[in-house]
Structure 1
Amino acid sequence: MIRDLIRLSRMSLQRATAVLILTGMALSEAVAVAASPLTDRPGWAVHHTTKPYAQLVRDVITATKSQGLVVVTQAGPTKAAAARGITIPGNRVIGIFNNDYAVRVLRRSTAAMIEAPIRLYVTEEDNGDATLSYKTAIHVFAPYLAEGGPELADIAAELDQHLEAIAQKAVQPAP
């Protein structure tokens, strides 16, 4: 009988632990969903808009093409979360680059190529407005400048001009 009580206690303790872990996971997901909007931070450009999320994603892609760059990747958790029954604000990372920049970066620093493609980040705010954010190319390539020299800094500066042009075109209000 004592053994049965000990076994029952262990099972109850395991169940209680499992419930606490699952509750903690659920709360952490709720906290992640309620994260605050992006704000300015060192090395970042943050452009708040009144555009809806889906429109800003489309406008970023269009503006990227107009700058002679290519959308290489797109990733975001929004649809996968919805498939799991979790609603989160729109969230998309859009990777952009082109082969000319890839070749030029590789001539300066093999290690720096890990940073390609440059990523643009579109997020949806609670009120439905969307924000475009990205790390500047000079910030992204900073760890490789000693190796890549002034030529890599020049490439980063060129990319920053493209990124700013993409941002300005993408965030402008529709006519």
Structure 2
Amino acid sequence: MTRLLAALILILLAPMTQAEMAPRDGWSVTATDKGYDALIDAVKAAAKANKMGVVTQAGPTGAAANRGITIPGNRVIGLFNNVYAVNILNLSTAAMIEAPIRMYVTENQDGTATLSYKLPSTVFAPYMAEAGPELETLAAELDAIFATISAEAAK
């Protein structure tokens, strides 16, 4: 009975002890002073200003709330540009599975939000041998664009 009670308590507390995003290899992780909704809006505005379209958005926060479950804000925003899509597709059909590149907005316990994403050069790395140096060039350009979007959104 004691083990069952302990397990139940851990299950119930798990959402409240969600870890904040930590730096990891091949990622950009930027803590901001912005709130969750403000950072989402800032990412969209910065993407538009840098000629990247918002292609997808998804997150469990709203659906969880509809089920009566409260979790920290969590949104994945997929960004891309058709010029890059066509150019990458011409180099590697398989590489297009990686588009759009996703930016990840997560709400922190203190009410601020963090912006994270895998570097495009990391995302496209498995296709470099197949696609050649042109894909490396495009991925480096996307690295710079996503860094600019991140910096603009975070300020």
- TM-score class normalised by the smaller sequence: over 0.9
Taking CA–CA contacts closer than 8 Å with sequence separation of 6 or more, which of the two structures ends up with the larger relative contact order? 2
Give the structure-2-normalised TM-score: 0.92
Tell me the equivalent position of 1:37.
Answer: 20
What percent of counterpart residues are identical? 55
**CA apart distance, 1:98:** 1.3
| Match status 1:54 vs 2:37 | yes
Which segments of 5 or more consecutive residues in structure 1 lack a partner in the other structure?
1-15
Tell me the equivalent position of 1:132.
Answer: 115
Tell me the equivalent position of 1:116.
Answer: 99
Count of equivalent residues: 152
Indicate which of 56, 59, 70 corresponds to 1:73. 56
Tell me the equivalent position of 1:147.
Answer: 130
**CA apart distance, 1:34:** 2.1
Give the structure-1-normalised TM-score: 0.82
Residue 113 of structure 1 aligns to which amino acid in structure 2? M
Structure 1 segment 86-125 matched on structure 2, within 5 A: 86-125=69-108
Residue 32 of structure 2 aligns to which amino acid in structure 1? T
Structure with max Cα Rg: 1
CA RMSD of aligned residues (A): 1.7
Tell me the equivalent position of 1:4.
Answer: none
**CA apart distance, 1:26:** 8.1
**CA apart distance, 1:64:** 0.2
**More helix, by proportion:** 1
Q: Describe the SS at the equivalent of 1:58.
A: helix
Deviations 1:23-75 (A, max 9, x none): 96884464245221111100000000111100000000000000001000000
Residue 42 of structure 1 aligns to which amino acid in structure 2? D
Residue 113 of structure 2 aligns to which amino acid in structure 1? A
Q: What stretches of structure 1 move > 2 A for 4+ residues in a row?
A: 23-30
Q: Describe the SS at the equivalent of 2:54.
A: strand
Q: Distance in 2 between matches of 1:111 and 1:29?
A: 41
Residue 51 of structure 1 aligns to which amino acid in structure 2? K
